[in-house]
């Protein structure tokens, strides 16, 4: 009796065990951030435009000094560092404005154009979406500001070198007196501590309002703060809430923008890291920011299109 089976031999492809694709937990967050950069090009266009405008003005100033010969050796050291600090301040101010308006429209915009229905159909959680939007002002913009500022200051340095060579002056003083590495390190420190960590409650509040308000997000973000300050002033004749807001926006103790003759780069080094990390306002602000973001996640989960 033939006991040999008539079954068709199993092919090598059939014998393979097809394992389900395992997606990295950070992969949806990465692509969500990519999506925010693609949809909101002002995030990098605005600081680039600010840098280009400043470089154009700096080039005119360098040509003017070259033609008129108004290079005062007595004020040389102060004149060397001031334009670099001003460039950093201009680009940082631009990115702060971009971050504020981005947060006000981040969750409100997708509800207004009803694209939230499409994004909710994708396997991306509300937590990932809110974190990706919060990472723009807290992570992406500070790093982008640093890169654009360093590139701008490097171009300024090359323009200054060319102007000095054209006027027959030595470039040794320019490259030795200008603490290039120290300026860049102070800038990165300032962006990570003040713009990312210290301003986290401000951006988180704007995201929360963006997810709650149906219209006029800027008014809904500002009016409650003004109302609390006015009620406190009228009822108790105090200004603690206004002082707290000013303290949060200007920076922690030790950050003194008017120090050292108003040099914009100097305040970035006046706050030691240990002192900053031991500041109670830092951790209170981060806790408040976490609460705002948690509320924004819950709002996005249950809020529909406008």
pLDDT of residue 16: 47
Q: In this predicted structure, which of 148-152, 210-214, 270-274, 292-296 has the lowest mean pLDDT?
A: 270-274
**CA–CA distances in Å: residue 49 to residues 106, 123, 149:** 22, 36, 12
Q: Which residues contact 222 (CB under 8 A, 6 or more apart)?
A: none
- Assess contact for 160 and 172: CB atoms under 8 A: no
Q: How far apart are CA 74 and CA 81, in angstroms?
A: 14
Instruction: Output the six-digit token pair for 101.
Output: 């308006």
- Give the list of residues 6+ apart from residue 201 with CB closer than 8 angstroms, or none: 248, 285, 286, 288, 289, 292
Predicted local distance difference test score (pLDDT) of residue 261 = 40
Contacting residues for 138 by C-beta, under 8 A, at least 6 apart: 196, 199, 200, 203
Residue, of 2 and 252, whose pLDDT is higher: 252
Query: How many CB atoms lie under 10 A from the CB of residue 132?
Result: 22
Of the given ranges (60-74, 86-100, 104-118, 151-165), which has the lowest mean pLDDT? 60-74
pLDDT in tens, 163-210: 767 666 666 666 666 677 788 888 999 999 999 999 999 999 999 999
> Could you tell me the pLDDT band of residue 285, with boundaries at 50, 70 and 90?
very high
Q: Report domain extents, the chain.
A: 27-32+41-302
What pLDDT does residue 269 have?
46
């Amino acid at each position: 009796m033939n006991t040999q089976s008539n079954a068709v031999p199993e092919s090598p492809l059939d014998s393979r065990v097809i394992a389900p694709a395992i997606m990295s937990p950070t992969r949806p967050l990465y692509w969500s951030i990519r999506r925010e950069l693609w949809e909101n090009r002002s995030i990098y266009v605005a600081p680039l435009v600010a840098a280009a405008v400043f470089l154009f003005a700096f080039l005119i100033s360098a040509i003017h000094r070259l033609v008129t010969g108004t290079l005062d050796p007595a004020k040389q050291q102060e004149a060397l560092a001031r334009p670099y600090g001003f460039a950093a301040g201009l680009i940082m101010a631009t990115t702060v404005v971009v971050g504020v308006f981005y947060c006000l429209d981040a969750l409100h915009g997708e509800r207004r154009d009803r694209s939230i229905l499409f994004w909710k159909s994708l396997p991306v959680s509300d937590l990932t979406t809110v974190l990706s939007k919060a990472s723009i002002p807290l992570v992406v913009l500070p790093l982008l500001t640093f890169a654009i500022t360093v590139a701008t200051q490097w171009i300024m340095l090359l323009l200054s070198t060319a102007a000095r060579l054209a006027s027959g002056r030595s470039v040794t003083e320019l490259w030795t007196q200008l603490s290039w590495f120290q300026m860049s390190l102070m800038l990165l420190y300032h962006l990570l501590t003040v713009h990312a960590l210290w301003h986290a409650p401000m951006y988180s509040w704007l995201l929360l309002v963006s997810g709650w308000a149906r219209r006029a997000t800027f008014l809904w973000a500002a009016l409650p703060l003004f109302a609390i300050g006015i009620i406190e002033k009228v009822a108790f004749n105090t200004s603690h809430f206004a002082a707290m807001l000013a303290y949060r926006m200007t920076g922690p103790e030790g950050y003194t923008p008017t120090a050292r003759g108003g040099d914009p780069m100097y305040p970035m080094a006046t706050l030691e890291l240990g002192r900053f990390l031991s500041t109670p306002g830092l951790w209170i602000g981060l806790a408040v920011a976490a609460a705002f973001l948690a509320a924004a996640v819950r709002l996005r989960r249950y809020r529909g299109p406008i």
